[in-house]
Amino acid sequence: MTHTEILHEGTRILEVERKAVADSIGKMDARFVRAVELLQHAKRVYVTGIGKSGLVGKKIAATLTSVGTSAYFMHPVEALHGDVAAIQQGDAVIVLSKSGNTVELLTLIPHLKKRLASIIGILGNPDSEIAKSIDVTLDASVDEEACPYDLAPSASTTVAMAIGDALALTTMKVKQFTPEHFAESHPLGQLGRNLTLRVSDVMKSNDAIPVVKADKTFYDSLIVMTEKQLGCVCIVNEKNELIGIITDGDVRRILQTTMNLHEVVVSQVMTKNPIVVEQTMLVGKALEIMEKRNTQISVLPVVHPEDKSVVGIVRIHDLLHIH
C-alpha cells in the first residue's frame, strides 16, 4: 500500500467508528435511564463477557469503580464454576455480547436470576435471546465493523465501551460523586495530588530557601543559587519582603550582557513583583498557575499572606512528584 492508501484506510476506520458512536446516540431512551437507576441502587456491580466483549467489560468495571460504583469483572465460565455465588440479591450485572446469543452468558443468566440480581445488557443484537431474558437491554448494534472484512470486532467494541462510559459517568453524576471523592480513591495519581495536597506539603522551606538582600551583588546571588540548587534566588528588602526573583533563565540572560558580576547589584537585574503562591494553596492550583503562563514557570516563591516574607520555594518537579 502507498502512504496515501494507508492514510485513507486509517481515516476510513476512524470514520466508521465515529459514525457508529454517533448512531448510538439516537438509540438512547428510557432503557438507559432504567439501567442507571439499577446501577445507582445496586449494592455491587458485576460485569461479564467473553472475548473482546470481556476485555471491554473489564474496562467498564474499572471505570465504574474509579467513579464511585464498586464493580468487578467476572468471567462467565468462572462464574459457572463457582464464582456466581458472590452475586447476591440487590447486585446488578452488566452482560456484554455482540451477538446477544453467547452460550456461556445464556447459561449463566438463569443462575443470576435465581440470585435476584438485576441484569443489564449491552448487546449488539437487541432482538437476541439474551435480550429477551434480562431486565434492561441497551442497543449497541452497528451497521458494520471497521475491519475491512467486517470480521474483527472494532466499531462494535467502540460503541460498547462508549455506552459503558455513559453508564458509569452518568451514574457518577447521579450519585453526586465529586472530584474530591475521585481524589480520595486515586491518592497516587496526579489528580489525587492536585486535590488533596497543599503547597506546604511539597515546598522547600527554612534553610533550603535561597534568599539574598536587594543590595547584594549578582555574584552573591549566584553563590546562593548554586548552594541551594533550586533554580532560583529570592530577593528581599530590609523588611524581608519579597521584591524580586532571579531564575536560571534570568542568569543566562544576564550573563550575555554582564561582564563584571561583582559590580552588578541584584536589584538592577532581578524580575520585579514575581508571581507567588501561598502555602495553603492546593497543588493543582499552583500547577495551573505555572502551566498557564505564556512561558512555563518552573519555580515559584511561596510567601506569607500578611507580611509577604518568603516561607518556601515550590518547583514544578515537586508539584508533579518528579524526582
Which pLDDT score is estimated for 323?
46
Mean pLDDT, rounded, for 55-66:
95
In the chain, the amino acid numbered 230 is L
The region of weakest confidence among 1-5, 136-140, 171-175, 254-258 is 254-258
Residues 266 and 218: beta-carbon distance below 8 Å: yes
Residues 46 and 87: beta-carbon distance below 8 Å: yes
Per-residue pLDDT band at 305 (split at 50, 70, 90): confident
- Cell 458494520: give the residue: 144
Residues 70 and 62: beta-carbon distance below 8 Å: no
Query: Domains in the chain, ordered, with CATH?
Result: 3-177 (3.40.50.10490), 199-319 (3.10.580.10)
Residues 146 and 156: beta-carbon distance below 8 Å: no
Residue 40 CA to residue 68 CA, distance in Å, equals 10
Which tens digit of pLDDT belongs to each residue from 131-147?
Answer: 999 999 999 999 999 99
Q: What is the DSSP string of 155-204?
A: HHHHHHHHHHHHHHHHHHHHTT--HHHHHHT-TTSHHHHHHH-BHHHH-B
Instruction: Compute the C-alpha angle 32/36/38, nearest 5°.
Output: 115
Average pLDDT, the chain: 89
